């Protein structure tokens, strides 16, 4: 995953920016499920 994608995903999901390891921990700690992640990722890919 690319730096700008992580930044945008963090904004959309409300978990903020982090490097890959921090980002994964935040996804798990905040309870973001795969469906929520994929919806956010699709929003980025469409824009």
pLDDT of residue 35: 97
End-to-end CA separation in angstroms for the chain: 16
Alpha carbon distance 3, 29 (integer Å): 20
Q: How far apart are CA 32 and CA 25, in angstroms?
A: 10
Q: Which helix (H) or strand (E) holds 4?
A: helix 3-13
pLDDT of residue 2: 84
pLDDT tens for each residue of 18-41: 999 999 999 999 999 999 999 999
Going by pLDDT thresholds of 50, 70 and 90, the confidence category of residue 47 is: confident
Rounded mean pLDDT, 3-30: 94
């Amino acid at each position: 995953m690319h730096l700008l994608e992580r930044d945008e995903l963090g904004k959309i999901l409300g978990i903020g920016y982090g490097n890959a390891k921090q980002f994964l921990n935040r996804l798990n700690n905040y309870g973001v499920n795969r469906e929520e992640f994929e919806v956010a990722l699709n929003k980025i890919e469409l824009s």
